[in-house]
Structure 1
Amino acid sequence: MGREQWGTRAGFILAAVGSAIGLGNIWRFPYVAYENGGGAFFLPYLFALLTAGIPLLIMEFTIGQKYRGSAPLSYARINKKAEWIGWWQVLISFVISVYYAAIIAWAMSYSVFALNLSWGSDPEGFLFGDYLNLAAVPGQYGGLVPGVFIPAILVWAITLGVLFKGVKKGIEVANRIFIPLLVVVFLIIVLRALTLDGAVDGLNAFFKPSWDTILDPGVWVAAYGQIFFSLSIAFAIMITYASYLPKKSDISNNAFIAGFSNSGFELLAGIGVFACLGFMANAAGVGVGEVASAGVGLAFVVFPEIINTFPGFNGLFGFLFFGSLVLAGLSSLISIVETYVAATQEKFNITRAKAVTVFGGGAAIISIFVFSSGGGLYFLDAADYFINSFGVAFAGLVSVIAVSWFLRKLGPFQDHANELSDIRVGTWWKVCLGVITPLVLGWMMVQNIITNIQENYEGYSTGFLLGWGWGVAVGAIVLGILLSFTKWKEGQLEIPTDYNESKEVSK
């Protein structure tokens, strides 16, 4: 039996876009743009998209489509010594999946709370006290929290249910539902937000360019960081998804569509979020900068405060906002879990059902019992920061250096992509991947290491960070190397030729 394939080109693109559009688009991008020069930030952001984001997507799509395997198998088919990079990326996805599911569970709870504004007049106190039962000290387990435990089970049941169904009937069908629904829901939110008093002030804060920031290297690094983290690069996702493409599938065009779709949604999110923040600032009689924030605080504290003061249909608006977080989160979580389902299925020569049950189920158990605890938010915060800073960014740096400098595969990959694609890549693509991206990611890594050696992240104790921060990031590399030593089944490193050669996905 040949490898599973996408049913249509649109199915693949929706899945890739669904993976890229996640919680970070809604709660990270607007604030990063605002903090780094507002409208002026879009220049380095677009430059980063064209010199790192799309070139890396083309590289990962090419690897998956050419070598027909999960990230570890694809890297092993390039060169057996590179297999550990694929496993490292898969393990990064494993770590991210176990805590990411918890945030989706919170959003699920909050979409219900929104209907009758259950968070009351003190959303911050409600989140950390009543809802999360936050442990007194980072590192304490704090017992299971039923309000997180139950929706977390539901999140994993949906995710694993989709993955059991396979690529075409599971992942593709889910994204055909989730992504259009997410866009419609978010458009409703944005249109409503734009009618609020003070919305214009919020949009002015978001779009007003501070051109002097263009000369700040930190702003350019922030732009590359945002592109990198929001496009699902170096998570093993895009290699895995591209491996299900039929033989004659356009690569470069798909990368441009996925990249610009993701950025388009980020812009839409920025408009919606800052229109709401402008309304809140207007109502409180303060500047937009005083209410702007990012991450968990924006979604679960600031937005409930905004919803409380809404002029009518508060509950409906809240339900739509948190519902959009659930949809964005689920489409990303499905793609993240698929990376290790596909990798373990191939490495250990087991069925998809067994891989989903054993490895997806194992992740679900860790996720539900660790991150549904009173100490879950602290565990999540440390793991998230370190796996992103010293996992995703570092894995991206290593993979691009390995492919361009040591394996010297940019030429063959360019030929492969150009043979299939409407948009041809040339010298600019090689320069971006061989020079620009390694320099920027290298600079980011050095700065991150210096910052974290000088002071502990968020002031957490060294012991806590060694276990839940550094330990998690280093553990992913070490385990990745160990997994690469296990043997493949006879003949498995040969690139298969039994998949549908003539079918072009263009419907």
Structure 2
Amino acid sequence: MADKNEWGSNLSFILAMIGSAVGLGNIWRYPYVLYSNGGGAFYIPYIVAILLMGMPFLILEYGVGYNFKSSFAKAIRKINSKCEYLGWFLPVAVFMIMIYYSAILGWDGIYMLLSFTKGWGADPNTFFATTLLQSSESYMGLLNFIPLIAVAMLVGWVIIWFISHRDLEEGLGKVSKLLVPLLFIIMVVIVGFSITLPGASIGLAELFNPDWSLLGHFEIWMAAFGQIVFSLSLGMSIAFTYASYTKDDADLITNTISIALANSLFENFAALGVFSILGYMSLQSGTAVSELVTQGTGLVFVAYPTVFNVLGQWAVVLGPLFFLTVYLAGLTSILSTVEPLSFSIQNKFGLSRSKTMTILCAVGAAISMIYATSFGGSLLGFVDTFINQIALLFGVIVECIVFAWIFKAEKLVNFLNSKSKTIKLGKWWLIIVKYVLPIVVTIIWIGGMIDVFNNGTMDQLNFTIVSAILLLVASLIFTILPAKNPDWDKTEDRI
């Protein structure tokens, strides 16, 4: 029986896209960005970024994806055969995210079990860095393999394979319908409890205390636009791929609004819980909230366990719930990162979905073991910075030019409007996707490049170069390999 790459319903598509957007970044990145960029004042550039970039770009990706009903690589080749390399560059970059994301998923799986007994001990910081990760900033750390982390990562890979190798609706569709609502429900429970903690108001006051003077600073606007790029997975070829799986009656503009609103609701709601807990920590320890705020793994694997250590009996319930939430958020996101490369391989080489996913999961699991070493944590940070601040943003710029200029975004307007029950597109949308978006993202990209080269260590620069070479070579190999599928060049415009 042939594999079916089509959503069973519009609900499956919406929930899968929400699951892709709602990830670890909403829980550990956004609260920090909100706090460090003017608190309540940040909402002005944040809302502008959603309206000016988030929604318009998603609509563009959805529209082109629906038009071709094919993989990203195949569609790019159809638009212009000279651009096929881009069609592989972005899916491979996103697959690289999947590989290191599996390490964070593994860490969280370990903490989910530890949370029942507070197994991280009295000093969560030392436990995370020294006992669990056995962190080393030396290359020699690559030689120190950590079996516990490897096993936790492999469990995650098995779960990913079990879901993704099935037909789309049977696997990812059904899982999204279960996990995404569950994710929101658990977050409501956690936030509901967190805001009742003594000292919660201290954290919330810090979070929402607006610093209006920052609105005149260029950085706060770039932070807002950068957050929307990462939060909504813009330009990662995921939205394009998911839209290519939709049924003919999909209202893509209304879907875009629903997905963007759900994502924003989740990350702002999560911020309430994070800062309520930081306020509680501040009250208990006598330390200012500003000294407790961290971004990334420090918040999830150090700050939260510190809170659970002093929560008493409630920690036995809240701890496992929290780490389950993080695991589900990571899982729904990581499942989306394999789709663009998988579908492109299926299209070009004529492999079944099941076989393609099995190969990709096996290859990804094998490569990911480099993160199950003492140098894994440092390496993860280097690769994450390169992918997010350099590779993906470059891909967004080029994708915007290919879709809006070479494909011609004008072709989408009448079709999308005919399906829309909400907003109608006009010249304003064309101006945004053809001019505003490429310029804004280019500015963010240049800023990210400058940051990496000015502030990065020599090790980071070396691994940035190595990561870039691997990405460029892998994309080139996929591009030059001869197609095995006779339908590879048979893609028709639907619009």
Q: Same fold (TM over 0.5)?
A: yes
Task: Render the CA deviation track for 1:265-320: whole Å, top value 9, x for unaligned.
Answer: 01111101011011101111232111111101111111111111114311221111
The equivalences for 1:260-339 within 5 A come to 260-339=261-340
| Cα distance in 1 for residues equivalent to 2:492 and 2:402 | 24
Which deviates more from structure 2 when the two are superposed, residues 414-423 or residues 92-101?
Answer: 414-423
Deviation at 1:136, TM superposition (A): 5.1
In the alignment, is residue 415 of structure 1 matched against residue 410 of structure 2?
Answer: no
| Cα distance in 1 for residues equivalent to 2:140 and 2:236 | 27
SS in 2 for 1:245: coil
| Cα distance in 1 for residues equivalent to 2:451 and 2:196 | 42
The equivalences for 1:116-265 within 5 A come to 116-135=117-136, 137-138=138-139, 140-265=141-266
Q: Structure 2: state its 5+ residue gaps.
A: none
AA matched with 2:335? I
The equivalences for 1:372-451 within 5 A come to 372-405=372-405, 407=406, 409-422=408-421, 423-451=423-451
Identity of aligned residues (%): 32
Contact kept in structure 2, 1:281 and 1:287, CA below 8 Å: yes
Contact kept in structure 2, 1:102 and 1:372, CA below 8 Å: yes
Contact kept in structure 2, 1:138 and 1:379, CA below 8 Å: no
Contact kept in structure 1, 2:88 and 2:475, CA below 8 Å: yes
| Cα distance in 1 for residues equivalent to 2:238 and 2:452 | 28
Deviation at 1:477, TM superposition (A): 3.6
Q: How does the TM-score come out when normalised to structure 1? A: 0.93
Which deviates more from structure 2 when the two are superposed, residues 475-484 or residues 83-92?
Answer: 475-484
| Cα distance in 2 for residues equivalent to 1:388 and 1:486 | 27
SS in 2 for 1:140: helix
| Cα distance in 1 for residues equivalent to 2:393 and 2:137 | 32
AA matched with 1:130? T
Aligned pair in 2 of structure 1 residues 339, 491: CA closer, same or farther (>3 Å)?
A: closer
Contact kept in structure 2, 1:139 and 1:378, CA below 8 Å: no
| Cα distance in 2 for residues equivalent to 1:354 and 1:122 | 45
| Cα distance in 2 for residues equivalent to 1:328 and 1:232 | 14
Deviation at 1:403, TM superposition (A): 2.4
Deviation at 1:257, TM superposition (A): 0.7
Aligned pair in 2 of structure 1 residues 12, 408: CA closer, same or farther (>3 Å)?
A: closer
Out of 461, 465, 470, which is 2:461 matched to? 465
| Cα distance in 2 for residues equivalent to 1:8 and 1:54 | 22
Give the structure 2 partner of residue 112 of structure 1: 113
Which deviates more from structure 2 when the two are superposed, residues 14-23 or residues 72-81?
Answer: 72-81
SS in 1 for 2:338: helix
| Cα distance in 1 for residues equivalent to 2:129 and 2:263 | 31
| 4+ residue runs over 6 A deviation | none
Give the structure 2 partner of residue 505 of structure 1: none
| Cα distance in 1 for residues equivalent to 2:22 and 2:327 | 12
Contact kept in structure 2, 1:115 and 1:318, CA below 8 Å: yes
Task: Render the CA deviation track for 1:12-48: whole Å, top value 9, x for unaligned.
Answer: 0000000000000000000001000001101101110
AA matched with 1:298? L
| Cα distance in 2 for residues equivalent to 1:259 and 1:139 | 43
SS in 1 for 2:266: helix
| Cα distance in 1 for residues equivalent to 2:85 and 2:311 | 51
Deviation at 1:440, TM superposition (A): 1.5
Contact kept in structure 2, 1:164 and 1:353, CA below 8 Å: yes
| Cα distance in 2 for residues equivalent to 1:21 and 1:157 | 22
SS in 1 for 2:486: coil
The equivalences for 1:491-502 within 5 A come to 491-495=487-491
Contact kept in structure 2, 1:3 and 1:244, CA below 8 Å: no
Contact kept in structure 2, 1:341 and 1:360, CA below 8 Å: no
Which deviates more from structure 2 when the two are superposed, residues 324-333 or residues 357-366?
Answer: 357-366
Deviation at 1:73, TM superposition (A): 1.2
Give the structure 1 partner of residue 71 of structure 2: 70
| Cα distance in 2 for residues equivalent to 1:381 and 1:305 | 23
AA matched with 1:88? F
Deviation at 1:3, TM superposition (A): 5.3
Contact kept in structure 1, 2:3 and 2:352, CA below 8 Å: no
Aligned length: 492
Give the structure 2 partner of residue 351 of structure 1: 352
| Cα distance in 1 for residues equivalent to 2:150 and 2:480 | 37
| Cα distance in 2 for residues equivalent to 1:41 and 1:289 | 17
| Cα distance in 2 for residues equivalent to 1:375 and 1:396 | 30
Contact kept in structure 1, 2:60 and 2:403, CA below 8 Å: no
Q: Structure 1: state its 5+ residue gaps.
A: 502-507
Contact kept in structure 2, 1:85 and 1:395, CA below 8 Å: yes
SS in 2 for 1:115: coil
AA matched with 2:108? A
| Cα distance in 1 for residues equivalent to 2:160 and 2:407 | 37
Which deviates more from structure 2 when the two are superposed, residues 306-315 or residues 376-385?
Answer: 306-315
Contact kept in structure 1, 2:9 and 2:247, CA below 8 Å: no
Which deviates more from structure 2 when the two are superposed, residues 480-489 or residues 444-453?
Answer: 480-489
Deviation at 1:60, TM superposition (A): 0.9
Which deviates more from structure 2 when the two are superposed, residues 30-39 or residues 301-310?
Answer: 301-310
AA matched with 2:466? G
